[in-house]
Each structure stands twice: as structure tokens, then as C-alpha cells.
Amino acid sequence: MLVAAREFLDGEGFTELVAPVIGPVTDPGARGAKQVDVDYYGHRYKLMTSAILYKQAALAAFDRIFYIAPNVRLEPLETASTNRHLAEFHQIDVEMAGASREAIMQLAERLVGHVVRQVVAQLPGELASLGRDTSMFAELLSQPFGQRSHADAVADLRGQGHDQSPDAEIDWAGEAMLSRKASRPFFVTDYPKGSRGFYDRESRERPGFLRNFDLIAPEGYGELSSGSEREHDYATIVARIRETGENPAKYGWYLQMVREGIPDSAGFGIGLERFTRYVAGLDSVWQASAYPKVPGVALP
Amino acid sequence: MLVAAREFLDGEGFTELVAPVIGPVTDPGARGAKQVDVDYYGHRYKLMTSAILYKQAALAAFDRIFYIAPNVRLEPLETASTNRHLAEFHQIDVEMAGASREAIMQLAERLVGHVVRQVVAQLPGELASLGRDTSMFAELLSQPFGQRSHADAVADLRGQGHDQSPDAEIDWAGEAMLSRKASRPFFVTDYPKGSRGFYDRESRERPGFLRNFDLIAPEGYGELSSGSEREHDYATIVARIRETGENPAKYGWYLQMVREGIPDSAGFGIGLERFTRYVAGLDSVWQASAYPKVPGVALP
């Protein structure tokens, strides 16, 4: 799958960089997961929960970049039973200068399509031995992905008697319900401000809504990817950080860079192990990692 | 360089895996560098200083594997001025079941040769703009790398008045002296037991000497790679761990795996940023990283 992803992204003019593992600050928008501190020569550094801040920095050198980025998030203990959380995982992490949300969603759709097409064509024996029925990919490979707004997804869930908040991300149970009903991947767009990181750009036309998306796999496999247009205006970023209750001073190097000017961009991260789970039809995401870290479970 | 490395290793039948970032135990053989602890759900985990233990584990699934593995080592403050240490770096980390030291040295030589050849052929403009004279690679590309034993290198240094210990790795100043005198890369073999990690196999024919090597770049750029045949006998590994003063109980999952049986193997890790520094002719290794971490220097 990584060979196919690199082949596709290389063909689209993307340059692969290696991502950092630690740094003075990392992505705060990790949905209830705790960041991991490390003592770096007496300074408090963090393990990367995502590479988002560094993707924006990388656009200073290249217009189109990607990482295969390792991330560590101490997910809440209750996620050990969702079958889709690992405390250590990787993202196919893509960022593109000057791109709109629509352009980057289209890129994500084509990337996922290319990888699935290559696996189905090149690894029929492996898929058969895993018991994966490749006819499940027929819709994915023959028509565009679905698309609905967050508000529409919330209304659907509430109509089914599921108490989904209109102000938050879709909860695990709600996501599973939507995913099980679908027969092809679909995007959920326009999350409410406050439900996601400060770097997801707010719509100018519809204040309070973000120019972002999730990509949800069908058959109950749930979220594969999150993405967005990025905020790049210094004053807006500082205000957005303050709105989340964080101190902008934490983001020293990042804000200094933003003040000097960063490009307009959009991007996404695809969870490699979740994507593998979906393609291989695995019961749980831990089966897609050679050294799985199920939240809360430590090895002796 | 990574595109060329992957192309070469793929052609040799190697499968790329993604490496873990944290785990209950990591490589103890990191030459004076401190490991970084993380609190993993109340358990003390470590950031990977190298992927060696996991490379051996991966051979349970594939005979030939590699990672582009991120590593973190809190190097001593005095290494900030060697121009060849970073606290965060990557290795092209290769392991091959059933291989001898000679086979894996030959593989390392061909891998380095392929990458340099591709860079010289495909990026002449970039090398010129960096001021790198590609005639410096003439010997590398036209003849085998050099080879000498650790004992021979020690005698050479002592003959030049440098007080190199015969029982330890070549020190930074000694390594720089040997490297500056060379006009092509060369291997140093047969390090004394005690100078390296417990996983480097001891010679049966010459007890006290290891079946390992370093690969040193010419022109003063210094070490590019370390490698070895691996110890895979359970009792010998336990004894070797004890000899280093460590408690084998720390290595719980690893020793359990070894007891169940792991393949004979050999492998190496090439420091990606050091290799980049050499090829690009950079003054210091931090210039080969987009987010450099010079030992002891923390960002606000």
C-alpha cells in the first residue's frame, strides 16, 4: 500500500520528506488523546501527535509534500475496544500549497482509489487468504465517493435516535452507524468550529463552520482520514489558539514562522493502519501493525 | 537519496516496514548517548535509539527487510561541535536472514554506490549549486571500498600519536583523522567485545572480537554506517547482556522471542542525515535535516 501511495503521489509532483518525532509543540487537536512529554535536555518536548505544524513549515521549500509520519497519542482507555485506535500509528500525511478543500478531497479520493486498485490487481492471493471479498470495493472503484455535511450526518443520527451533539465531532458509535450504512467511502464536511484544531480554516462565507472534512470508510470501518484548508493568517491563528483555551506562547517557533508568512494550503492525513485494516478486511486495527500498541496495554 | 535506496533494496528483494517509535526497551549500544523515557499509561517506555531489536523480530515474517527508522538519542553536549551528531535522526535500517558479515558489507557497499551514482547522474545542478565537486566520488564509483580491522586502525592512530584505546570504538577525533586520510569509503571490522551492543555476534574463531563493521566516509565526513552479524543464541544473548551490566529482565519480550527462536541474520543502519551530508558536501549534519536537533539546543 505504501509503494502504491508513493507511486501515486510521486506522479502528482509531491516530494516525500522525513517527519520529526519530537518537538517543543505538536498538534493539539487530537480528540481526547493525551500528548506524551519527553525531557529533552531539560526542556519539555512532545512526541508528535500529528505532523500538521511541520507540514506547513515544509511548504517553505516545496509546494507539494508528504510524510509517512509516525504519531503517538495516549488515547483514552475506552478506545481499546473501538477496534480502530492505536496509541502508535502512522499517517500518509499530505499538504499542498494553494489548494482548496475541494482539490485536496479529490486528491485523497484518487489516492485511496489508486492504492485499492493496485492491491486488488496485484495481491489477489493475499486478499483471498485474508477472506476479503474484493467485490466490496466495486463501488469505490467505479464511482465518486459520497459527500455529506456534518449537519446532515448529525440530523441523520438524531433521526435514528442517536444523541449526537451538533457542536462536536461525530462520536465513535455514531461514526460506526454511518459507516455501516455506507457501501462506498464518503466525505463528511463542514465541521463546527471548536470541534477541531486551530489550523482548520473557518469559512468566510459561513462563519462557525470549517473548510474541512473527514473521509469515512464503508462497512463499519469508520474514519480513514481527516483534512482541511489551513488557516495561515497570523492574527486569526492567535485568536483561534486563544479560543481553545491554549496559550499562544506555547507555539513559539510556529507563530514566528506564520508571522513571517506561510503559504495558503490544504492537506490531509490518512491513517495507514486504519486504511490497511479496511483494505484487508481485518477485525481490528491492531492487526494492521507489526508492533501494535492497543491503548492502555503495555508489554513487560 | 531515499528514492534511490528504496529502488535498490526493492530490486534486492527487501520489504520495507514501518518502524516503531516507542517501546518497553530499545538498543542499549548507543555509545554514550542517553535514552529518552516516556510515560506510557504508567509504564516506562523508551524512544527508539535504533530499531535493531525490531529488525530481528521482523525476520519472523520476511527474510529481507528494511525501515527508514526515526531514532532519538540524547547525545552528550560535547557532540554539538563534532558536525556529525543529531539528537534526532533517521537510519536506512537493513536486516537479512542467513547473511554473513561479508554478504551484508557487500550489500551496504552496493547500496551506497547506487545512491551516489543516482544522485550524481540525476542531480548535477543541485550538486553544483551546493559546490560539491563530483570528482570526489570517482574512487567510490570505480573500485571496491577499502577495508581494515579495528586493531589496524588503532595501531595507525597510535602511530600518529593519537591515544586511541584498543578496547573501545574509535573516538571522534580518531575517526576524523582516519576519514580525512581516505579518498574512498572504507570498512573498519572486528571491534572488540565490550565496545558494542550485545546483539553483535562474537567470532567463534577469534573470541573477544565481533563479526561487525563500521563504514567510514572519506574527506573527514566520518562514520556513515554500523553493521554486524547478529547473535541469536538465547543463552549467549543473556550472558552478553549481563556482561554489559544490564539486567536481562528489562528485555522481556525480546528474550521471550529469542527463546522461541529467531533466524541467523546480519544487517546495518546507514545514518540518513550523515549520508546526505557526505553526498551533498555539507559542513555539518544539521544542514541535512529539515528540523535539525543539535545536541543540547532546544527551541522555544
Q: What is the pLDDT of residues B164-217, one digit of tens each?
A: 999 999 999 999 999 999 999 999 999 999 899 999 999 999 999 999 999 999
Whether the predicted pLDDT of A31 surpasses 90: no
> Structural domain of residue A284, as residue ranges?
2-288
One-character DSSP codes across B249-262: GGGHHHHHHHHH--
The pLDDT of residue A162 is above 90: yes
Residue B119 falls inside a structural domain = yes
- Residue A135 and residue A147: Cα distance in Å, rounded? 22
**pLDDT over 70 for what percent of chain A?**
100
Residue A29 is predicted with a pLDDT of 72
**Per-residue pLDDT at A300:** 73
Residues 255-284 of chain B with CB under 8 A from chain A are 272
Question: How close B72 comes to chain A (CA, Å)?
Answer: 8
Of A200, A249, A265, A271, the C-alpha closest to A62 is A265
Burial B152-175 (b: 16+ CB within 10 A, else e): ebbebbeeeeeebeeebbbebebb
For B247-284, write each residue's pLDDT tens digit.
999 999 999 999 999 999 999 999 999 999 999 999 99
- CB contacts of B41 in chain A (<8 Å) are 74, 77, 87, 295-298
Q: Do A39 and B36 touch (CB under 8 A)?
A: yes
Which of A41, A90, A293 is facing B296, going by the closest CB pair? A41
Q: Do A21 and B61 touch (CB under 8 A)?
A: no
Q: How far apart are CA B37 and CA B48, in angstroms?
A: 10
Determine the distance from the C-alpha atom of residue B31 to the mean position of all C-alpha atoms in its chain, rounded to a whole number: 11
* Interface probe, candidates B41, B247, B253, chain A, greatest A C-beta count within 10 A: B41
Q: Label residue A267 by pLDDT band (50, 70, 90).
A: very high
Cell matching residue B253: 519480550
Q: Say what the pTM is.
A: 0.96
Give the nearest chain B residue to A41 (CA atoms): B296
pLDDT at B204: 95
Nearest to B290 among A22, A39, A58 (CB): A58
CA atoms within 13 A on the CB side of A192: 12
Query: Residue B290: exposed, middle, or buried by beta-carbon count in 10 A (0-12, 13-18, 19+)?
Result: middle
Instruction: Please indicate, yes or no, if residue A271 is contained in any of the structural domains.
Output: yes
The verdict on a CB contact (< 8 Å) between B18 and A90 is: yes
Residue A283's pLDDT is 97
Res B300: pLDDT: 72
Mean pLDDT of B224-246: 96
> Cell match 509531491: residue?
A14
B-chain CB neighbours of A3 within 8 Å are 10, 16
Choose among B36, B58, B299: nearest Cβ to A252: B299
* The pLDDT of residue A4: 98
Cα–Cα–Cα angle for A36, A37, A38, rounded to 5 degrees: 125
Interface of B with A in 71-90 (CB under 8 A): 72, 74, 77, 87-88, 90
A100 found inside a domain = yes
pLDDT on residue B277: 98
Quick one: what percent of chain A has pLDDT higher than 90? 95
What pLDDT does residue B32 have?
82
pLDDT of residue A235: 97
Q: Is the pLDDT of residue B71 over 90?
A: yes
Query: Can you read off the three cell numbers belonging to residue B28?
Result: 542499549
Which among B3, B290, B298 is the nearest to A41, CB-wise?
B298
Q: How many residues are given for chain B?
A: 300
Q: Where do we find the cell 529518552?
A: B36
pLDDT per residue over A40-94, tens digit each?
999 999 999 999 999 999 999 999 999 999 999 999 999 988 899 999 999 999 9
Q: What pLDDT score was predicted for residue A282?
A: 98
Of B169, B170, B185, the closest CA to residue B115 belongs to B185
pLDDT category of residue B29 using cuts at 50, 70 and 90: confident
Which residue of A lies nearest to B21 if distances are taken between CA atoms? Answer: A70
Cα B13 to Cα B63: distance, rounded to the nearest angstrom: 9
Instruction: Decide if B47 and A87 are in contact by the 8 Å CB cutoff.
Output: no
Cross-chain Cβ contact B24/A300 below 8 Å: yes
Alpha carbon B13 to chain centroid, angstroms = 21
Give start and end residues of each alpha helix (H) in chain B. 2-11, 52-58, 101-122, 124-129, 138-142, 150-159, 172-181, 234-243, 252-260, 272-280
Rounded Cα gap, residues A194 and A281, in angstroms = 33
Residues 197-226 of B with CB under 8 A from A: none
Judging contacts by C-beta atoms under 8 Å, the chain B residues touching residue A33 are none
Give me the number of domains chain B comprises: 1
User: Whose grid coordinates read 519480550?
Assistant: B253
The shortest CB-CB distance from A291 to any of B20, B40, B291 is to: B20
What integer pLDDT is reported at residue B299 of this predicted model? 84
H helices present in chain A, as ranges: 2-11, 52-58, 101-122, 124-129, 138-142, 150-159, 172-181, 234-243, 252-260, 272-280
Q: State pLDDT tens for residues B281-299.
A: 999 999 999 999 999 999 8
Question: Could you tell me if residue B63 is inside a domain?
Answer: yes
Greatest Cα-to-Cα distance within chain A, rounded to the nearest angstrom: 55
When CB atoms are compared, the residue of B41, B72, B90 closest to A18 is B90
Beta-carbon-side half-sphere exposure of residue B115 (alpha carbons within 13 Å): 19
Is the confidence at residue A30, as pLDDT, over 90?
A: no
Question: Measured between beta carbons, which residues in chain A are less than 8 angstroms from residue B73?
Answer: none
Task: Tell me if A299 and B253 make a contact (CB, 8 A cut-off).
Answer: yes
Convert the pLDDT of each residue in A201-243 to its tens digit.
Answer: 999 999 999 999 999 999 999 999 999 999 999 999 999 999 9
d(CA A180, CA A198): 30
Q: Looking at CA atoms only, how far is residue A252 from chain B in angstroms?
A: 6
- Is A92 inside a domain boundary? yes
The reply to whether residue A41 touches residue B74, judged by beta carbons under 8 angstroms, is yes
Backbone angles phi, psi at B58, to 5 degrees: -65, -25
Q: Taking all residues of chain A, what is their mean pLDDT, rounded to a whole number?
A: 96
Interface mutation vs chain A, best among B38, B55, B66, most A CBs within 10 Å: B38
Q: Which of A15, A17, A21 has the highest number of chain B CBs within 10 A, making it the mutation to test binding with B? A: A21
B44-66 residue pLDDT tens: 999 999 999 999 999 999 999 99
Phi and psi dihedrals of A41, rounded to 5? 50, 45
Q: Which residues of B touch A251 (CB under 8 A)?
A: none
Residue A210 located in a structural domain: yes
* Domain assignment of residue B293, yes or no: no
Instruction: Please check the confidence at residue A127 and state whether its pLDDT lies above 80.
Output: yes
Residues in B touching A293 (Cβ below 8 Å): 20, 22, 40
Phi, psi of A160 (to 5 degrees): -90, 5
Distances in whole angstroms, Cα of residue B290 to Cα of each of A258, B81, B280: 17, 19, 14
What is the domain-level CATH number for residue B25?
3.30.930.10
pLDDT at A141: 94
- In this complex, the residue of B58, B70, B252 whose CB is nearest that of residue A299 is B252
The residue in chain A having the minimum alpha-carbon distance to the alpha carbon of residue B37 is: A38
Tell me if B87 and A40 make a contact (CB, 8 A cut-off). yes
Q: How far is A24 from chain B (nearest CA, A)?
A: 6
Count how many pairs of residues, chain A against chain B, have C-beta atoms within 8 Å: 123
pLDDT band at A252 (very low <50, low <70, confident <90, very high): very high
Residue A207: the pLDDT is 97
ipTM for the predicted complex comes to 0.95
Q: Does residue A295 fall inside a structural domain?
A: no
Which tens digit of pLDDT belongs to each residue from B88-132?
999 999 999 999 999 999 999 999 999 999 999 999 999 999 999
List the 5-64 stretch of A: residues with Cβ below 8 A of B. 10, 16-24, 36-43, 45, 47, 54, 57-58, 61
Q: Is A168 on the interface with B (CB under 8 A)?
A: no
